Amino acid sequence: MPDIRIENLRKAYGDVAVIEDLNLCMADGEFTVLVGPSGCGKSTTLRMIAGLESCTGGAILIGGRDVTRLEPRERDLAMVFQDYALYPHMNVAKNMSFALRLARYPKAEIDRRVREVAETLDLTAYLARKPAELSGGQRQRVAMGRALVRDAGTFLFDEPLSNLDAKLRGHMRAELALMSRRIRKNMIYVTHDQVEAMTLGDRIVVMRHGKIMQAGPPAELYRKPANRFVAGFIGSPTMNFLKGELVEEDGRLRVDGAGFSIPLPAERAARLQGSARRAVEVGIRPSGFTPADGPDALQLPVILAEYLGTQSIVMSEMGGARVTIELMGSEPIATGGTRMFRIEDKDVHLFDIETEQAL
Amino acid sequence: MSVATANRLTPYLFLAPALVILLGALVYPIIYVIYASFLDWNPSQRIGEASFVGLRNYAKLLSDAAFLESLRVTLAFAAIVVSVEMVLGVGLALLLDRNMKGLTVLRTVFILPMMIAPIVVGLMWRYMYHPTIGIFNRTLNSLGLEPVPWLSDSSWAFAAVIIADVWQWTPFIFILSLAALQSLPKSALEAARIDGARGWQAILYIKLPLMLPVLIVTMLLRLIDAFKVLEVILVMTNGGPGLSTEILSLRINRTASEFRALGEAAAMSNILLLVLMALTLAMFLYTKASEARSRRLAAAQEPAT
């Protein structure tokens, strides 16, 4: 299995650059997820790797081989499209075997592979059906099967689950995770859904405006977001952002804002030495609020409580700004009134107001 | 009459004028021509004075060598022009289905011949085929080659009318094929590229099969038209030399005006009508079948549930 390297990749339509100076390295057998909001360039990047889109500059190397100017068929990859892209005039078996038939594989080998993959994807009963006669989930599996049959070196997925309903999407996500573990190939997966990114990826690449904001394992992105954008994009419910100021008192650093004052741990205070009176953006995960009593606990109103069974999502207010609080527990929380919370300092993220970089 | 009955009849009342026009403009002439085909009728007689001869006109046509030759010429003409036009039209559409500068202008230029009146096309080609002043023979002459008897030799004349028809009607196939090509699902074509299809394989295995419904309807429309072609050939060769380019519409015209046999001409028209009706029926049945198919496809393309 080859590793994939993207070097200084650039894509422009006329004067408008949609991808600029993108550098990325994907190791053997790694499941990489490109994630970001609409228009961030993730699909364009994937399509350039596939060879469906030309590159304005830079290079794409698969297994050390420069494939930048090669046709898709010369890149040894398989792709699952958002709308499945099945051939409407061919039945499931023909759809799955198209690439093998083009490559003139022996008929017995084609049959064997199609049967094998159809069995793993539970499609054996539908081999003679045309795509029009299948449900959305089945068509999705055929698209997956078509990619699997080829046994290509790299698998590309362009938002393959976004046309499915929530329940089926969850199911297919699990299937996909199992499949990727089983076949251990290079997988590059594009999605705008951070839950998909977190659950599937060995590595997540967060993109915005054609640039990589941060790349790393899911836990790293969640725990140590490199900037405000990644912090806001990864994690559900999303992080709360509040205006604050670093204050030094008695040699200890803390962050103050409207309605809160959180002391910073010594390690971080050391990093921020000399930053007193600096205005910052404070990011607090909804899970960073814990019910507490005591003098330094914050009293926050429960404006709205959404009960989800094992947890509740509380909408509250801190110094005039809306905040979301995630509380574990199967007991419903009543809307109205106030509750006491403490903010764990390890759950507090600080960002530069100007550069939005993490401090 | 009760109010309910009046209400029920109102829509029919509004439809009545259209029905009257339809009966007068469409059904009456057809019945008239069917009736006329059973008569021995010449233009100096009123239709009432013509004698009824039953199926004699039809029987006579079946043993009339000139009519059978004309039918053969028509079938050969229609088959050849439609085949050539399909190959050229679809080929051009496949070539020009890309985003390149100036293609819009080129596409417009390609469809110009279709917009010219057939009589003008006929005249234009007649002058181009002219043995001495026509551009073809002058070009051949300047190249030191023998002139070609374009319209005076029966084989050349047949080829000449085919070339003129192909020139005028290939654009029709071209624009419909181009529209079909541009409405093909893009992602399926991309999937084919990923699956390893080369350009010609994508055409053969993906594009053409997906275009097939449009191509079949286009072909039938052209076939129907090719059976009825008249003006271009009338102006270019008037059916000659001999009977080499005398297609059915010309034969009908001559039978009625030159041979003054209106009954026979009517019988010929009816035979042509039957052929065209068979083609139309085929097209209708095909459209029905493909509509049902696209409904199924559309239902399948809805977001999954």
Residue B84 has what pLDDT?
A: 97
Query: Which residue is associated with the tokens 């790393």?
Result: A216
Answer for the pair A134, A142: CB distance below 8 angstroms, yes or no.
yes
H, E, C per residue of chain B: CCHHHHHHHHHHHHHHHHHHHHHHHHHHHHHHHHHHCCEECCCCCCHHHCEECCCHHHHHHHCCHHHHHHHHHHHHHHHHHHHHHHHHHHHHHHHHCCCCCCHHHHHHHHHHHHHCCHHHHHHHHHHHCCCCCCHHHHHHHHCCCCCCCCCCCHHHHHHHHHHHHHHHHHHHHHHHHHHHHHCCCHHHHHHHHHCCCCHHHHHHHHHHHHHHHHHHHHHHHHHHHHHCCCHHHHHHCCCCCCCCCCCHHHHHHHHHHCCCCHHHHHHHHHHHHHHHHHHHHHHHHHHHHHHHHHHHHHHHHCCCC
- Tell me how crowded residue A260 is: count the other CB atoms within 10 A of its CB: 20
Quote the pLDDT of residue A2: 66
Residues of chain A positioned with their CB less than 8 A from the CB of B197? 73, 98, 102
Nearest residue on chain B to A75, alpha-carbon basis: B194
Would you call B194 and A77 a contact, using CB atoms and an 8 Å cutoff? yes
Chain-wide mean pLDDT for chain A? Answer: 89
Disruptive mutation site among B190, B195, B293, B295 for chain A (greatest number of A CBs within 10 Å): B195
Instruction: Kindly state the average pLDDT of the residues A271-278.
Output: 76
Find which of B99, B101, B194 to mutate to test the A interface (most A CBs within 10 Å of its CB): B194
Q: Which of A85, A13, A136 is nearest to B193 (CA)?
A: A85
Q: Using one digit for the tens of pLDDT, what is the confidence trace for B246-295?
A: 999 999 999 999 889 999 999 999 999 998 899 889 888 887 887 787 67
Please give the domain boundaries of chain A with CATH numbers for all domains: 4-228 (3.40.50.300), 240-352 (2.40.50.140)
pLDDT of residue A63: 87
pLDDT number for residue B300? 58
| pLDDT computed for residue B305 by the predictor | 39
pLDDT in tens, A75-102: 999 999 999 999 999 999 999 999 999 9
Min Cα separation B33/chain A (Å)? 45
Instruction: List, in order of start, the domains of chain B with CATH numbers.
Output: 71-250+272-301 (1.10.3720.10)
Residue contact A79–B205, C-beta within 8 A:
no
Residue of chain A with shortest Cα separation from B200? A102
> How many angstroms separate the CA of residue B185 from the nearest CA in chain A?
8
Smallest CA–CA distance, residue A167 to chain B, in Å, is 10
Judge: A52–B296 Cβ closer than 8 Å, yes or no: no
B24 touches chain A (CB under 8 A): no
Q: What is the ipTM of this complex?
A: 0.84
Q: What's the gap in Å between the CA of A81 and the closest CA on chain B?
A: 7
The per-residue pLDDT for range A187-215, each reduced to its tens digit, is 999 999 888 899 899 999 999 999 999 99
Share of chain A above pLDDT 90, in %: 47
- pLDDT for A335 equals 86
User: What does the mean pLDDT of chain B come to?
Assistant: 89
Among B198, B209, B305, the residue with its CB nearest the CB of A165 is B305
Question: A136 to chain B, minimum CA–CA distance in Å?
Answer: 4
Does the beta-carbon distance from A98 to B192 stay under 8 Å? yes
Q: What is the pLDDT of residue B304?
A: 43
Q: Taking residues A139-154, what's their average pLDDT?
A: 91
Q: Cα A331–A334–A337 angle (5° rounding)?
A: 135
At B303 the pLDDT is 46
Residues of chain A positioned with their CB less than 8 A from the CB of B192? 87, 98
Interface of A with B (CB under 8 A): 50-52, 71-73, 77-79, 81-89, 98-99, 102-103, 131-137, 139-140, 146, 150, 163-165, 168
Look at A73 and B206 and tell me if their CB atoms are within 8 Å: no
pLDDT at B96: 87
Please determine, for residue A273, whether its predicted confidence score (pLDDT) is greater than 80. Answer: no
Residue A1 has pLDDT above 80, yes or no: no
Cβ atoms of residues A172 and A191 within 8 Å: no
Do residue B304 and residue A146 have CB atoms under 8 angstroms apart?
Answer: no
Q: CA-to-CA distance for B64 and B265, rounded, in angstroms?
A: 13
Tell me how far apart the alpha carbons of residues B265 and B236 are, in angstroms, rounded to a whole number: 22
| A181 pLDDT more than 90 | no
Give the residue from A53, A74, A89 with the most B CB atoms within 10 Å of its CB, the best one to mutate. Answer: A89
Q: Which residues of chain B have pLDDT under 70?
A: 294, 297-305
Distance (Å, rounded) from C-alpha A271 to C-alpha A252? 12
Alpha carbon of A129: minimum distance to chain B alpha carbons (Å): 12
B296/A82 CB distance under 8 A: no
Mean local confidence (pLDDT), A286-292: 88
CA closest to B304 among chain A residues: A136
From chain B, the residues in CB contact with A98 under 8 A are: 192, 195, 197, 205
Spell out which residues of chain B touch residue A163, defining contact as CB-CB under 8 Å. 303-304
